[in-house]
Chain A
Amino acid sequence: MNPQNSCSISQTSLSWCEGKVVTPGIRKRLYFIAKSDIAEWPALPRDAATGRPLSSVLEGSFTLAADKYWKHIDILVDKSQLTSEAQGEYPSQTQLNKLTAVHPDVEEDATIGAANFNNTDNVYLIPTMSGKYRVLGNDMYQGKATYAQDLGQGATGTASSTLTVEHTDLIPAPFYKGDIVLSANDGDTIHCGPEPRDTADDMEPADNSNPLLG
């Protein structure tokens, strides 16, 4: 059989429950690390035959190079956002994911902070209001980051440093449920996955007999 005729596309329905609240915005602390410090990437599940993404959730965790850890940048949530737009032509359409992160400071640390982003290809982990993490950056395409600083104008102006990142991906910023290792200490790792399942449903069937009542 001609292989061209055997390919099939898996598609899924998109449901939405009436009344479900979709909280907009991103949270105030982002994490980043240079791609060169990533030893192994979590994988985006893809169809082996077509390369089509099968899930928006990355499988696994980032494994970092020895003695390397995620760094953070605090941002103003009201002025920062993560967006995604389509780019390219059929059959090479991809998503251009964009992050605008406004850091409120313009002092020494915020100024040398530009060196973290200029000429460095980074990956960013962005926490959403629903408590999940989205990933900006992958091992396929190179990202582009710019860092601007504005000291404000006059007494009523606003000073800030703005990080803008653009990164091509196959889908809008995928979800991450692995670990974020912030230091060598055991307690300094964020586990992005679901909480350990210790609800009543997962426990052994309860023994309802009360020993006091016999």
Chain B
Amino acid sequence: MDNALTQRLQDWLNTEADRRDTEQGRLLILQLTRNPYLAANFARDPKRFMPHAGYQLGKFLKLRLAGAEHAEVERMTRQVAAINKADGLDRPLPGKTKGKAAERRQIAKTGKFVKGRRADHDRLPEEIQALWTENLSLVQQKRALHAQLVVITRQAEGNSDYCPDGDRYPLVKEIIELDKREKANWEKYDGFMG
């Protein structure tokens, strides 16, 4: 979709009716409605046809914005799918399935090997240690959001009237932001040289 055209349309409609550029409006009518008669009438008597032109073009703006949102959500959903593939957000946590959560906590406390945890973890400054702790929480949040996303996807599969873009958007946005923060934390944590 031509985003520049959508922007041009939005700018034109956002301008007060009596200050809108007639030639620009005529072109937009031609390009979007493909109705040469409306375009000619509008060019001949813009004041009279402005409300009708505004109404017609407004319908196209609504459709185009919805289309743009759909494309954006699709793009972000693909990004989340890649995160899911890398991090296994939909896979059960090993500790949970084996009932070893307490054991995992114990390992973390005693400094024995834990995935992602540095051997010198306890000797690191507190703020660096906090990054590791925070990441545990970020992963949990990502998993919870991803579970909601899966529910929405399943609902959408069975209902063709339901457009899930609006519900998906905040979830995928949050997952991507959490993922970026988690990666940045790992970078700081792993790269800390003391």
Whether A and B are associated in the same complex: the answer reads yes
Q: A: which residues have CB within 8 A of B? A: 36, 39-40, 63-67, 184
CB-CB < 8 A to B27: which residues of A? 39-40, 63
Please give the number of chain B residues whose Cβ is less than 8 angstroms from any Cβ of chain A in the complex: 11
Closest Cβ of chain B: how far from A125's Cβ, in Å?
19
Known: A40-B27, A66-B31. 9 other contacts (CB 8 A): A39-B27, A63-B27, A63-B31, A65-B34, A66-B2, A66-B60, A67-B1, A67-B5, A184-B5
CB-CB < 8 A to B60: which residues of A? 66
CB-CB < 8 A to A184: which residues of B? 1-5
Bound Cα distance A65, B5 (Å):
10
CB-CB < 8 A to A64: which residues of B? 31
Interface membership of B30, Cβ < 8 A: yes
A-contact 0/1 string along B14-41, CB 8 Å cutoff: 0000000000000100111010000000
22 CB < 8 A contacts A-B:
A39-B27, A39-B30, A39-B34, A40-B27, A40-B30, A63-B27, A63-B30, A63-B31, A64-B31, A65-B30, A65-B31, A65-B32, A65-B34, A66-B2, A66-B5, A66-B32, A66-B60, A67-B1, A67-B2, A67-B5, A184-B2, A184-B3
Find residues 30-68 in chain B having any chain A CB closer than 8 Å to their own CB.
30-32, 34, 60
Most buried by A among B1, B3, B27, B31: B31
Prevailing SS type, chain B contact patch? helix
Bound Cα distance A150, B80 (Å):
49
Bound Cα distance A184, B71 (Å):
15
Bound Cα distance A40, B32 (Å):
12
Bound Cα distance A40, B5 (Å):
15
Bound Cα distance A66, B28 (Å):
9
Bound Cα distance A64, B28 (Å):
11
Closest Cβ of chain B: how far from A59's Cβ, in Å?
16
Most buried by B among A36, A39, A184: A39
Bound Cα distance A141, B27 (Å):
23
The chain B residue sitting closest to A184, CB to CB, is B2
Closest Cβ of chain A: how far from B184's Cβ, in Å?
31
Bound Cα distance A165, B183 (Å):
59
Bound Cα distance A64, B2 (Å):
12
CB-CB < 8 A to B5: which residues of A? 66-67, 184
CB-CB < 8 A to A66: which residues of B? 2, 5, 31-32, 60
The chain A residue sitting closest to B6, CB to CB, is A66
Closest Cβ of chain A: how far from B37's Cβ, in Å?
13
CB-CB < 8 A to A36: which residues of B? 34
CB-CB < 8 A to A65: which residues of B? 30-32, 34
Bound Cα distance A39, B38 (Å):
13
